[in-house]
Structure 1
């Protein structure tokens, strides 16, 4: 179900002069007659986390990130619109994913950049399908790249969709449509992924780097691999699961990381990816923020900072 945004979330400090903050710029998104800009969309669901036997609470994540963003200093050059929230009704995650895909497609058709806030990582299915519906790639078209910063492959096999299945769902959709599945996952924790998941990733041709291969002295090699991965692609969908970060940096997630990828490394790679992809970056989302387990708002502040990094 699509709900209009509660603009009371966008409140904060007001300074004199040009010291502007996000809450002074964000306006509700209309269905027409708006200049292209960034369109924020919340996916208020942790049904996939519940099905995956994780700790629930991420359904309130989108609004909590908005409240932190509201007081953040504004340094952007384009409009920011709030598209409201999608909610999972009666546990029907599959219907939510279809509705999300349709709305992402609509935002792209209006030349907006969809920035989605979660919510569980079930958000990924609707983000990718919305981009795919917008581009309508043929069998011979250049692939749509997926880059996922995550401690987990999210390639689990299950009888129904969960927060652990989204990229397998996307892979199966690509196979059914006879289009390439072009997926790179950065930050994989060996301890958090079974041997069967590594085998499945290899069979699907997934490119990945483990968390202990993402150190500052290894960045030149990582950048070369990312540049090679992005070179043939027509578009990029970028996903950040906050559990890719160390637990002390991002405690408010569904599955805290024992090691994780340090925030400076993540930010460096985001900047590099944006530089290489340029205008091919079409959709981004931030998943798995769980305010119920956050400490001093640490994770919300990190999520807000990453929003700025993605669209500045």
Structure 2
């Protein structure tokens, strides 16, 4: 991978408030071979899968936009965060880029880090998963996809709508369990064929209309039960699960969507299982952003995932 572009990590410096007034741009460091274990940001600057899937291209610029939005956020962590740079997709070679992403994810896991992949289209997920199973192919990996779409299409070659079907194929070929939970599925956005395929694969799912505050306790219990069937978890978050009113900068904005608060609770529940090995956040398309609002929301999800604890002094 190329060296990370650290010029994006710039922002406000509150000198007068001292060492407790730090921001992300002051704390994120480039990944080095001897870096102590932490979270590693890996960009996947690719939207070739979106193009193949007939969507709105532009997600290749998502990783930089998320980093830029993160840069000025307040730092509340103890553990380090590193930037490993971007895997790029040149000349439409999506499959080659996915192989390189898999290598970056595997290397981070081998070094004891938690990879957090910034997409890119949802073709990101197939690269992330390949890296995960090359690290641990001998265990049961539970896949949780927070998404308006199943992404189980049977298209060839692969695209942004096929990654979880590709995972199912890999599991079948290698005699592994395909444990797949999709949260936030939109019925109008998935054909009958996709529901039939999900049934045939013994997938479990919850619809977007189920992920409401008064029903979220049941959903989180389902997540915990699903996690109990897995040795480790992989979490993929497609930003198009959110309402298009708050997340317009995706390939396919949601007419209804799921509330941000519900997505945050799911992220926290998955992380707190203690089984999560890798996460990716995909589909931010800065070309359709409004005043950087969507990039800040994507960055806020990254921030929440890494900081979902009450700060000192917060009242219950």
TM-score w.r.t. the length of structure 2 is 0.95
State the SS of the aligned residue for 1:89.
coil
Q: How big is each residue's C-alpha offset from its partner over 1:216-272, in whole Å with a ceiling of 9 and x where there is no partner?
A: 111121122111111021111111100000011111111100000000111112112
Runs of 4+ residues over 4 Å off in structure 1: none
Aligned to 2:2: 3
Shift of 1:157: 0.9
- 2:39 is aligned to 38
Counterpart in the other structure of 1:294: 289
The question of 1:190 aligning with 2:187 is answered yes
- 2:27 matches 1:25: yes
Counterpart-to-counterpart distance in 1, 2:116 and 2:218: 29
Instruction: State the alpha-carbon separation in 1 of the partners of residues 294 and 178 from structure 2.
Output: 31
**Number of residue equivalences:** 304
Q: Contact between 1:184 and 1:206, CA under 8 Å: does it hold in 2?
A: yes
The one of 144, 150, 153 aligned to 1:156: 153
Match of 1:308 in 2: 303
- How far apart, CA to CA, are the structure 2 residues paired with 1:214 and 1:165? 24
Unmatched 5+ stretches in structure 2 = 308-316
Residue 273 of structure 1: CA displacement?
Answer: 2.0
Show CA shifts across 1:164-200 (max 9, x none): 0000011101111110111100000000000000000
Per-residue deviation, 1:3 = 2.4
Secondary structure of the corresponding residue to residue 186 of structure 1: strand
Give the Å deviation of 1:148: 0.7
Contact 1:3 1:87 in 2 (8 A): no
CA contact (8 A) 1:251 1:298 kept: no
Gaps of 5+ in 1: none
Q: Distance between the aligned counterparts of 1:282 and 1:311, measured in 2?
A: 13
Distance 2:225 2:170 in 1: 24
* Residue aligning to 1:240: 237
- 1:132-169 CA-to-partner distances (Å, cap 9, x unmatched) read 111121xxx4x201111100000001120100000001
**Matches for 1:137-156 after TM superposition, within 5 Å:** 137=138, 141=139, 143-156=140-153
